[in-house]
Amino acid sequence: MATKEELQKRVAELEGRIEEITAEHAKQMGQSRGMLQQVLDTIPIRVFWKDKDLNYLGCNQLFASDAELDSPQEIIGKNDFELTWAKAAELYRADEQQVIDSGEAKVNYEESQSTEDGSELWLRISKIPLRDSEGNITVVLGTYDDITEHKQAELDREHLQQEVIDAKQ
């Protein structure tokens, strides 16, 4: 049978090993988070996620740049009314609330957005509910891409087609 001192020594050894494992796990989690942020910042599409109150929990660098922020961390806790697209905040939030209420993704739809200088952007947007392990929606994940050039080309083509039809008549 082990003595009290031997048991205390063994407990101390186990506690030390637990601390090592915990530190290693924390290091690995930090590396994983860093890698995920690097992936998000590298993909050529804007990505954001919001809580059920429609406050931002995070985003990638492209999205932060669109919001005129220096880094993705600056968006945490903000809402659309506090960002450069405040005029469209009600529309964006209504889309996200619909995703939360219905539990259904809203995928690949187009919206126009007016910029502060008065120009118009076209965006292709997707918003998806994310669920916890019990199936409850906890986050809305959103992505969008600027399709202004594509949309302008499409509008120009339609205009030219109409001119051809008019000329034939």
pLDDT, one tens digit per residue, over 13-38 is 877 778 877 777 777 776 777 777 77
DSSP code per residue over 7-62: HHHHHHHHHHHHHHHHHHHHHHHHHHHHHHHHHHHHSSSEEEEEETTS-EEEE-HH
For residue 63, pLDDT over 80 is answered with: yes
* pTM score over 0.75: no
